[in-house]
Amino acid sequence: MTKTIDMQSLRYLKLFMKLTHIQIKNCFYYNNMIIFAVPRKLLSKAIGKQAVNVKKISEILRKRIRIIALPKGEEDLRKFIESIVAPVTFNELEVKENEVIMNPGKQTKAALIGRNKRRLLEMKKIIQDYFEKDFRII
């Protein structure tokens, strides 16, 4: 799970740590949204009472943000992907030795791929960074 952090991500992480008092190393982009991955036990503290931290960070950055639980391993892969792509759903998720295959169904396939495969490429990068596996949608 070695990943390089660009300067913009570093600024987002610093702001997040300053407002929530939680030290994290994970932030990524998906569907014009900044997603912060925090340890599961600190998830409610990161969100804050009545989502006050989420609202404050979103106001400052003027972007949509989401706070999700950091995956512990491959057993959390399905839950991790579901929380990233929500509210879009998918039917199946098959994990093979070195790749993850998603079967979304006809209605949601276009929403998961995105225009010019943008969301597909973003998800490939996320899965590669966290699980070191390739990602496909069939």
DSSP assignments along 90-127, one per residue: -SEEEE-SSEEEEE--TTTHHHHH-GGGHHHHHHHHHH
What global pTM score does this model have?
Answer: 0.87
Give the pLDDT confidence of 3-33 residue by residue, as tens digits: 677 899 899 999 999 999 999 988 899 999 9
Domains annotated on the chain, with CATH: 7-69 (3.30.300.20), 74-133 (3.30.300)
Element (H, E) at 27: strand 27-30
Residues 44-82 have pLDDT tens digits of 999 999 999 999 999 999 999 999 999 888 888 889 999
